[in-house]
Amino acid sequence: NQDTQVAQNMHGLSFINLFVFDLLLIFRVLEASIAENKASLKRTHTEVWSDSPNPHDRKRIDSCPVGLKNVGNTCWFSAVIQSLFNLLEFQRLVLNYSPPARVHDLPRNQKHRNLPFMQELRNLFSLMVGSKRKYVDPSRAVEILKDAFKSSESQQQDVSEFTHKLLDWLEDAFQMKAEEDREGEKPKNPMVELFYGRFLAVGVLEGKKFENTEMFGQYPLQVNGFKDLHECLEAAMIEGEIESLHSAENSARSGQEHWFTELPPVLTFELSRFEFNQALGRPEKIHNKLEFPSMLYMDRYMDRNREITRIKREEIRRLKEHLTLLQQRLERYLSYGSGPKRFPLADVLQYAMEFASSKPVCTSPVEDIDSSQDSLPPLESSGPASGPTTAPTAAQQQRVPIHKPFTQSRLPPDLPMHPAPRHITEEELRVLEGCLHRWRSEVENDTRDLQGSITRIHRTIELMYSDKSMMQVPYRLHAVLVHEGQANAGHYWAYIYDPHQRCWMKYNDISVTKSSWEELVRDSFGGYRNASAYCLMYINDKKPFLIEEEFDKETGQILSGMDKLPADLKLYVKEDNELFDKEIEEWDILQARKAQQEKLALATAAAAAASAASSTSTSSSSPQPMSIESSPPDNAGQGHGIYNSEEKSFNQDLFLFCLSGQAIKLEYARLLRFAQEDTSPENDYRLQHIIVYFIQNQAPRKILERTLLTQFADRNLAFDERCKSIMNVARAKLDLIKPEEVNMDEYEMWHQDYRNFRETTVFMTTGLELFQKANYVEALMYLIYSYQYNKELLSKGLYRGHDEELLGHYRRECLLKLNEQAAAMFESGEEPDVSTGLGIMNELVVPCIPLLLAHDIEGDLLAVEDMRNRWCSYLGQEMESNLQEKLTDFLPKLLDCSTEIKSFHDPPKLPAYSTLELCERFSRIMSALGRVHADGR
């Protein structure tokens, strides 16, 4: 009996192993399907978000700023509104606005447009202050605004037009209230006081002087042709020829200057980054780099500093003229020569010195070649020799090859490596060396003096306005509105400074995150990718009320949250919060009810299974073998997949085994063993299962537990009754996990990292396969992206990605192979091949060189040096003039390429791999690499 019991137990364990194995196959197929569906979403921007069905995912965390939902191409609305909302003075004005009493007397457009919009804006601001939601819906305010535009067919509106319209409506709404409150007095409009300033236009029109005062809101600035904000402002403040403004003569020239007489507390610059291309007949975006400071001093543009600024401008003009002359002189030293080739003069003198001091030779290079070939068989001739005087000439003529670039024979080893003078006396050499040495020293001194003078002038210009008298009107950068894309489409977001946390915040629709000045610069200056600032909002640093919190007049405490709101808005927010609380409560009740129903179903199934096993054991006198294919008898009922006809107790134990989740624990133990094993490079268990990846990277226990349970609980497993029981157990366990026990943001972050790991693996595998097939052009982009993505993963942990050295090696090798191919095409001298070779270098190799130089990795640095040396070696060879011109044009790009990493095109399209196929491909390519590299790389 004891032996029989042991056999039964062993048989039960084998059933469990087969059972779990079946489940694993299902899980892996399911996991691959989910990963492939989500892979297409990675690194793509979705402009419209759908709400998560779980309200806990939409719950505001502490006092984190509230985002705005994108309700369809409305990121432009979010960026502008968030910038204004974070101006606390503007926020107070909107929240405390009350409509005029005599609404029925107002014009129709104000009554049915401006006032409803103001009310919706108040409601929106109140929710942004006191909502319990992570983000709120601005649909009502957006719809009113859209109606005012000429085209509202779900197209992204021009942000400048929208901002002007918004300020106009706000100005009208406050003007109505101001006129009602100040009857008989000149009303003050707070919107005008906040956003509008004045400037004086001083100029000459056809010889007649004029002065006009004008009001401005957003001040437009041209970007094209300027390097920073001050250059843009200088150009905007001076138009046309202004010499006549400063002279007593009545000239016919026309021009004008702008001088600010009054600056608004909130100074907004509208950067014109779009221009109409007449040739193409469409607008285009200007991606030029434009720098702007975090602190801007406006003194030089004020009317009261007119005379001082004119003097300084004249001084800067004079310095720039002098600077131009010095730079021209320096250029003559650095690019010396009268032909197409130019070299630094100091180097030319050094080369002359080296030539003069080389060992003299007695024969010409041609004679040396003739003498070195005396032992060679005579060359074939078309006719008899014509005598001793003509034979050498004929032989010499036949030995002179028809010129083809890069095809000449190597020079014999006894020929001097460098050209040298044929005859030079010691006296001549001494005099010449003395002169060349003296001249080179003079040239070097002159070059240093010119460079020093240029540096001093640059510094003088930079410090021209740095004295305290010209730093009395400080404006601090409050918000930067960014556009990414082209002229006819794109995405908008805002960087806004939080003075209380002393950090920059990024407001990207529903996402509000901490940022940095470095990230702002990268996205806003332009010239890096398709993103750049289109609007800058500065605030007067001497008017702190603009961003100061409001204090309670009685207690002196800072007003925060709901305390900021007037009574009607408090009620509005309270009702909305109650609706949200009710939604959360209903969700929790629904989930609890589902859990209870599933537990009841499990209990009912357990009772039915026990009853079926009892009736089976009484009707059978001898035990029958168990197999996973066996089915319950007719009287066992339907839907009970766990069946054993041997013993009632064993059948119950097996069901309880599933019910208690032992199968899940067994699967976790198996995956834990895989995670701890030392495996060969071609067998990466992380690709086979996400849990192995999580274990190796020390993911939190709750993340592991929820991930494993989620996979067991997938409804796609319900087609098999054996799986369905474990699926129900997993679902019951998931319901027991409280929302606060698992940080869903962290949970999603870990799963996103794993999706990134899989995608990086696909890039890597595809790139290495193409490399092995010698398809280096296509392989390069896959290897470039896999290396960059892998580096991002490894920055989070050692086991987040693949071997960085391996990827770096093949990225480097691919570039070297392409460089070799391109050089061979150039050497052929054939026009199509030359163009193709230079195209490969310009479009693929040269843009990748900064990536190799970004980190001081010895192999990468040597590879760059080898590539550059290969092309520089052509400088000393004779070639046709057209090739020489192309080489001269190309070499500066290769040698002087910027160390700034440029953005590439969109990543190449990824093949669709299932998990099984990806593992097989990865194993195959890693095995092949192992055979190639003896060092095991």
Report, as residue numbers or ranges, the catalytic residues: 75, 483, 491
Do 297 and 476 touch, CB atoms closer than 8 A? no
Residues near 133 by beta carbon (within 8 Å), at least 6 away in sequence: 58, 59, 60, 66, 127, 576, 580
CA-CA distance, 483 to 158, in Å (whole number)? 11
Distance CA(897)–CA(913), nearest Å, equals 37
Under 8 Å between Cβ of 267 and 221: no
* Alpha carbon of residue 865 to chain centroid: 29
Answer whether 462's CB lies under 8 Å from 480's CB: no
Strand-pairing partners, residue 291, are 228
User: Encoding tokens for residue 730?
Assistant: 């997993």
Beta bridge pairs of residue 421: none
Q: How far apart are CA 241 and CA 253, in angstroms?
A: 6
Q: CA-CA distance, 100 to 852, in Å (whole number)? A: 66
**Nearest alpha carbon to residue 757 among 717, 670, 844, 699:** 699
User: Rounded to the nearest 5 degrees, what angle is found at the Cα of 249, between the Cα atoms of 243 and 254?
Assistant: 45
- DSSP secondary structure letters along 580-601: HHHHHHHHHHHHHHHHHHHHHH
Which residues, at least 6 apart from 59, have a Cβ–Cβ distance to it below 8 Å?
Answer: 132, 133, 134, 584
Two structure tokens written together for 522: 């990268």
Calpha distance 280→273 (Å, rounded): 17
Strand 135-136 with 67-68, pairing: parallel
Q: Write the burial class of residue 426 (CB in 10 Å: 0-12 exposed, 13-18 middle, 19+ buried).
A: exposed
Classify strands 503-508 and 474-486 as parallel, antiparallel or unpaired: unpaired
Distance CA 251, CA 334 (A): 43
For residues 613 and 644, what is the distance between their CA atoms, to the nearest angstrom?
7
Crossing angle for the helix pair 2-39 and 915-932, nearest 10 degrees?
90
Please list the alpha-helical segments (H only) found in 677-743.
685-688, 690-696, 701-712, 721-736
DSSP at 841: I
Please name every residue paired with 201 in a beta bridge, in sequence order, or none if there are none: 212, 258
CA gap 178, 100 in Å, rounded: 9
Number of H helices, E strands in the chain: 30, 16
Alpha carbon distance 405, 94 (integer Å): 76
**Beta-carbon neighbour count of residue 830 at 10 Å?**
12
The C-alpha atoms of residue 272 and residue 627 are separated, in whole angstroms, by 76
Q: Using DSSP bridges, classify how beta strands 218-222 and 266-272 pair: parallel, antiparallel or unpaired.
A: parallel
Residue for token pair 């601005």: 138
Q: How far apart are CA 752 and CA 866, in angstroms?
A: 39
- DSSP for 784-834, written as a single string: HHHHHHHHHHHTT-TTSS--HHHHHHHHHHHHHHHHHHHHHHHHH--HHHH
DSSP letter (8 states) at residue 361: -
Name the residue among 219, 196, 201, 333 with its Cα closest to residue 271: 219
CA distance 864 to 812: 9
Token pair for residue 196? 């509008």
